Amino acid sequence: MKQLLFPFLSCVMLSAASVLVSCGNFPGTAEVAVPGDPSRFFVRDSLISPGVYYYPEQWPESQWERDFRNMADCGFEFTHFGEFAWSSMEPEDGTFDFGWLDKAVGMAAAQGLKVIMCTPTPTPPAWLTHRHPDVLVVNSSGQRIEHGARQQASWASELYRKYVRRIVTALAERYGDNPAVIGWQIDNEPSHYSFSYDYSENAQRNFRIWLQKKYGDIDSLNHVWGNAFWSQTYNDFSQIRIPNGKVLPGTPNPHAMLDYKRYTADEAASFINMQADILRSIISPGQWIMTNTMPGHSPVDPARMTSLDFLTYTRYLVNGRYSGYGEQGFRISNPDMLGYNNDYYRNIKGVTGVMEIQPGQVNWGKFNPQPYPGAVRLWMYHIFAGESRLVCHYRFRQPLKGSEQHHYGTMQTDGVSLSPGGRDIVRFNEEIKELRRHYDRNSAMPREMAAIRTAILVSPDNRWEMEFQPQSDQWDLYRHTIRYYYALKNMGAPVDIVEEDADFGKYPVIVAPAYIMVDGNLIDRWTEYVSEGGHLVLTCRTGEKDRNAALWEDRLAGPVYGLIGAEELYFDHLPKDRQAHVEFDGKEYSWNNWGEVITPAEGTEVWARHSDQFYKGSAAVLHRAVGKGSVTYVGIDSDDGRLEKAVLRKLYAGEGLDPVYDLPEGVLVEWRDGFFVGLNYTSDRQVLPVPDDAEVLVGEKTVPPAGVCIWKAAK
Please identify every residue annotated as catalytic: 189, 356
CB of 528 to ligand GAL, least distance (A): 42
Per CB under 6 A, 644 contacts ligand GAL: no
Task: Report the nearest approach of ligand GAL to the CB of residue 5 (Å).
Answer: 24
Euclidean distance between CA atoms 423 and 380, whole angstroms = 13
Smaller CB separation from ligand GAL, 314 or 459: 314
- Smallest gap from Cβ 707 to ligand GAL, in A, equals 25
Torsion, Cα of 362, 368, 370, 371 (10° steps): -70
Of 154, 314, 481, 604, the one binding ligand GAL (CB under 6 A) is: 314
Q: Which of 14, 22, 33, 189 is nearest to 114 (CA)?
A: 22
Ramachandran region of residue 596, left (φ > 0), alpha (ψ -120 to 50) or beta? beta
394 binds ligand GAL (CB under 6 A): yes
Closer to ligand GAL at the Cβ: 230 or 367? 367
Do residues 119 and 170 touch, judged by C-beta distance below 8 A?
A: no
C-beta closer to ligand GAL: residue 297 or 581: 297
| Residues 66-125, interacting with ligand GAL (CB under 6 A) | none
Question: How far is Cα 228 from Cα 546, in angstroms, rounded to an integer?
Answer: 19
In the complex with ligand GAL, the residue whose CB is nearer, 316 or 681, is 316
The least CB distance from residue 362 to ligand GAL, in Å, is 5
Q: Determine the number of helices (DSSP H) and then strands (DSSP E) in the chain.
A: 18, 26
**DSSP letters for 311-363:** EEEE----SSS---SSTTGGGT--THHHHHHHHHHHHHHS-EEEEEE-SS--S
Q: Output the smallest distance, CB 397 to ligand GAL, in A.
A: 13
Nearer to ligand GAL, 188 or 682 (CB): 188
How many CA atoms are closer than 13 Å to the CA of 239, on its beta-carbon side?
Answer: 8
Supply the minimum distance, in Å, between the C-beta of residue 371 and ligand GAL: 13
* Rg of the chain over all Cα atoms, to the nearest angstrom: 26
- Which of 120/176 has CB closer to ligand GAL? 120
HEC profile for 193-252? HHHCCCCCHHHHHHHHHHHHHHHCCHHHHHHHHCCCHHHCCCCCHHHCCCCCHHHCCCCC
Q: Is 379 in the site for ligand GAL (CB under 6 A)?
A: no
Binding mask 151-190 for ligand GAL (x = CB under 6 A): -------------------------------------xx-
Nearer to ligand GAL, 291 or 630 (CB): 291
CA–CA dist 483, 337 (Å, integer): 13
Which of 188/334 has CB closer to ligand GAL?
188
Beta strands in 407-551 (DSSP E): 454-457, 495-498, 509-512, 535-539
Q: How far is the CB of 189 from ligand GAL (least distance, A)?
A: 4
In the bound state with ligand GAL, the residue whose beta carbon lies nearer, of 250 and 402, is 402
Query: Which residue, 183 or 190, has its beta carbon nearer to ligand GAL?
Result: 190
Pair 711, 678: CB distance under 8 Å: yes
Give residue 435's Cα distance to chain centre.
Answer: 26
CB 87 → ligand GAL: shortest distance, Å?
16
Size (the chain), residues: 715
* Footprint on residues 185-204 left by ligand GAL (CB under 6 A): 188-189
Q: Which residues of 55-74 are buried (b: 16+ CB within 10 A; e: fewer)?
A: bbbebeeebbbbbbbbbbbb
Judged by CB under 6 A, which of 407, 427, 433, 535 binds ligand GAL? 407
In the 8-state DSSP scheme, what is residue 55?
Answer: -
* Helix 99-110 vs helix 158-175: crossing angle, to nearest 10: 50
Please give the full DSSP string across 75-114, using - where no structure is assigned.
T--EEEE-TT-HHHH-SBTTB---HHHHHHHHHHHHTT-E
Cβ(176)–Cβ(287) below 8 Å: yes
Among 42, 207, 316, 675, binds ligand GAL (CB under 6 A): 316
- Taking 3-state DSSP, the helix, strand and coil percentages for the chain, each rounded to the nearest 5, stand at 35, 20, 45
Minimum CB–partner distance for residue 221 and ligand GAL (Å): 36
CB of 122 vs ligand GAL, minimal distance in Å = 8
36 to each of 229, 278, 310, 351, 504, how far by Cα in Å? 49, 17, 10, 11, 22
Total chain residues near ligand GAL (CB under 6 A): 9
Burial string for 647-664 (b: 16+ CB within 10 Å, else e) reads bbbbbbeebebebbbebe
Distance of CA 400 to the CA centre of its chain: 30
Q: Least distance in Å: CB of 188 to ligand GAL?
A: 5
C-beta separation of 412 from 398 below 8 A: yes
- CB count in 10 Å sphere of residue 157: 25
Do 565 and 632 form a contact (C-beta atoms < 8 A)?
Answer: no
Q: Are strands 594-600 and 566-572 parallel, antiparallel or unpaired?
A: antiparallel
Of residues 481-520, which lie at the interface with ligand GAL (CB under 6 A)? Answer: none
Q: Return the closest-CA partner of residue 526 out of 626, 605, 453, 603.
A: 626
Closer residue to ligand GAL (CB): 316 or 571:
316
Interaction with ligand GAL in 345-364: which residues (CB under 6 A)?
356, 362
Distance of CA 470 to the CA centre of its chain: 22
Strands (E), 96-236: 114-118, 181-185
Give the residue from 154, 133, 129, 116 showing the smallest Cα distance to 26.
Answer: 116
Q: Minimal CB distance to ligand GAL: which residue?
A: 189
CB of 297 to ligand GAL, least distance (A): 10
| Smallest distance from ligand GAL to CB 333, Å | 14
Contact footprint for ligand GAL (CB under 6 A) = 188-189, 314, 316, 356, 362, 394, 404, 407
